[in-house]
Amino acid sequence: DTAVSQTPKYLVTQMGNDKSIKCEQNLGHDTMYWYKQDSKKFLKIMFSYNNKELIINETVPNRFSPKSPDKAHLNLHINSLELGDSAVYFCASSQDWTQYFGPGTRLLVL
Protein backbone atom coordinates (compact mmCIF):
# COMPACT_ATOMS: atom_id res chain seq x y z
CA ASP A 1 0.00 0.00 0.00
CA THR A 2 1.36 3.41 -0.99
CA ALA A 3 1.28 5.76 1.99
CA VAL A 4 1.73 9.07 0.16
CA SER A 5 1.08 9.10 -3.57
CA GLN A 6 1.46 11.83 -6.16
CA THR A 7 0.30 12.20 -9.73
CA PRO A 8 1.71 12.65 -12.22
CA LYS A 9 5.20 11.29 -11.71
CA TYR A 10 6.59 13.28 -14.63
CA LEU A 11 5.31 16.48 -16.16
CA VAL A 12 6.83 18.12 -19.22
CA THR A 13 5.14 21.29 -20.38
CA GLN A 14 5.64 24.59 -22.16
CA MET A 15 6.22 27.95 -20.52
CA GLY A 16 3.00 29.80 -19.85
CA ASN A 17 0.88 26.69 -19.35
CA ASP A 18 -1.15 25.91 -16.22
CA LYS A 19 -0.72 22.53 -14.53
CA SER A 20 -1.80 20.68 -11.40
CA ILE A 21 -0.14 18.06 -9.23
CA LYS A 22 -2.22 15.86 -6.95
CA CYS A 23 -1.28 14.27 -3.64
CA GLU A 24 -3.11 11.74 -1.51
CA GLN A 25 -2.16 10.10 1.78
CA ASN A 26 -3.80 7.06 3.37
CA LEU A 27 -2.01 7.35 6.72
CA GLY A 28 -4.77 9.29 8.46
CA HIS A 29 -2.37 12.18 9.10
CA ASP A 30 -3.66 15.65 9.87
CA THR A 31 -0.87 17.67 8.24
CA MET A 32 0.30 17.75 4.63
CA TYR A 33 3.06 19.68 2.91
CA TRP A 34 4.41 20.71 -0.47
CA TYR A 35 8.15 21.00 -0.96
CA LYS A 36 10.24 22.04 -3.95
CA GLN A 37 13.63 20.42 -4.53
CA ASP A 38 15.82 22.27 -6.99
CA SER A 39 18.64 20.99 -9.15
CA LYS A 40 21.10 21.43 -6.27
CA LYS A 41 18.93 19.12 -4.14
CA PHE A 42 17.86 21.90 -1.78
CA LEU A 43 14.49 20.94 -0.30
CA LYS A 44 12.37 23.96 0.56
CA ILE A 45 8.94 24.03 2.13
CA MET A 46 6.24 25.83 0.16
CA PHE A 47 2.93 25.20 1.91
CA SER A 48 1.41 23.20 4.70
CA TYR A 49 -2.18 22.35 5.60
CA ASN A 50 -3.47 21.02 8.90
CA ASN A 51 -6.98 19.56 8.73
CA LYS A 52 -7.68 21.48 5.51
CA GLU A 53 -6.47 24.79 6.99
CA LEU A 54 -3.46 26.57 5.50
CA ILE A 55 -0.84 26.90 8.25
CA ILE A 56 2.38 27.57 6.32
CA ASN A 57 2.60 29.78 3.28
CA GLU A 58 6.23 30.50 2.47
CA THR A 59 7.46 33.17 0.10
CA VAL A 60 6.18 31.53 -3.04
CA PRO A 61 4.91 33.33 -6.16
CA ASN A 62 1.13 33.59 -6.15
CA ARG A 63 1.12 31.59 -9.38
CA PHE A 64 1.28 28.62 -7.00
CA SER A 65 -1.99 27.81 -5.29
CA PRO A 66 -2.53 24.85 -2.99
CA LYS A 67 -5.92 23.35 -2.34
CA SER A 68 -6.95 20.77 0.25
CA PRO A 69 -10.43 19.34 -0.45
CA ASP A 70 -10.11 17.05 2.59
CA LYS A 71 -7.38 16.12 5.00
CA ALA A 72 -6.22 13.19 2.86
CA HIS A 73 -5.63 15.29 -0.25
CA LEU A 74 -3.47 18.29 -1.04
CA ASN A 75 -3.19 19.52 -4.61
CA LEU A 76 -0.91 22.13 -6.12
CA HIS A 77 -1.95 24.26 -9.06
CA ILE A 78 0.62 26.30 -10.94
CA ASN A 79 -0.37 29.07 -13.33
CA SER A 80 1.74 30.57 -16.10
CA LEU A 81 4.62 28.15 -15.70
CA GLU A 82 8.15 29.57 -15.95
CA LEU A 83 11.49 27.92 -16.71
CA GLY A 84 12.54 28.38 -13.06
CA ASP A 85 9.64 26.24 -11.91
CA SER A 86 11.45 23.17 -13.21
CA ALA A 87 12.17 21.04 -10.14
CA VAL A 88 10.98 18.00 -8.25
CA TYR A 89 7.90 18.69 -6.14
CA PHE A 90 7.39 16.49 -3.11
CA CYS A 91 4.25 16.09 -1.11
CA ALA A 92 4.58 14.92 2.50
CA SER A 93 2.30 14.17 5.40
CA SER A 94 2.90 13.99 9.13
CA GLN A 95 1.33 13.19 12.43
CA ASP A 96 3.30 14.58 15.35
CA TRP A 97 6.70 15.43 13.88
CA THR A 98 7.52 12.52 11.61
CA GLN A 99 7.11 13.28 7.92
CA TYR A 100 6.50 10.78 5.15
CA PHE A 101 7.28 11.88 1.61
CA GLY A 102 5.60 10.98 -1.63
CA PRO A 103 7.63 9.78 -4.63
CA GLY A 104 7.88 13.26 -6.15
CA THR A 105 6.69 14.87 -9.37
CA ARG A 106 9.43 15.82 -11.79
CA LEU A 107 8.36 18.99 -13.56
CA LEU A 108 10.23 20.20 -16.62
CA VAL A 109 9.21 23.50 -18.16
CA LEU A 110 10.45 24.05 -21.72
Partner 1 sequence: QKEVEQNSGPLSVPEGAIASLNCTYSDRGSQSFFWYRQYSGKSPELIMFIYSNGDKEDGRFTAQLNKASQYVSLLIRDSQPSDSATYLCAVNPSGTYKYIFGTGTRLKVLA
Residue type, 10: Y
Q: Is 40 in the site for partner 1 (CB under 8 A)?
A: yes
Interface residue with partner 1 among 5, 67, 77, 104 (CB under 8 A) is 104
Q: State the nearest-atom distance from the C-beta of 105 to partner 1, in Å.
A: 11
Q: Indicate left, alpha or beta for 62 from its phi (over 0: left) and psi (-120 to 50: alpha).
A: alpha
Cα–Cα distance, 77 to 83 (Å, whole number): 16
Q: Is beta strand 105-109 parallel, antiparallel or unpaired with respect to 10-13?
A: parallel
Q: Are 35 and 44 spatial neighbours (Cβ–Cβ below 8 Å)? A: yes
Interface residue with partner 1 among 48, 68, 75, 93 (CB under 8 A) is 48
Interface residue with partner 1 among 15, 16, 44, 65 (CB under 8 A) is 44
Count of residues that interact with partner 1, criterion CB under 8 A: 21
Residues contributing to the site for partner 1 (CB under 8 A): 31, 33, 40-45, 48, 50, 55-56, 90, 97-104
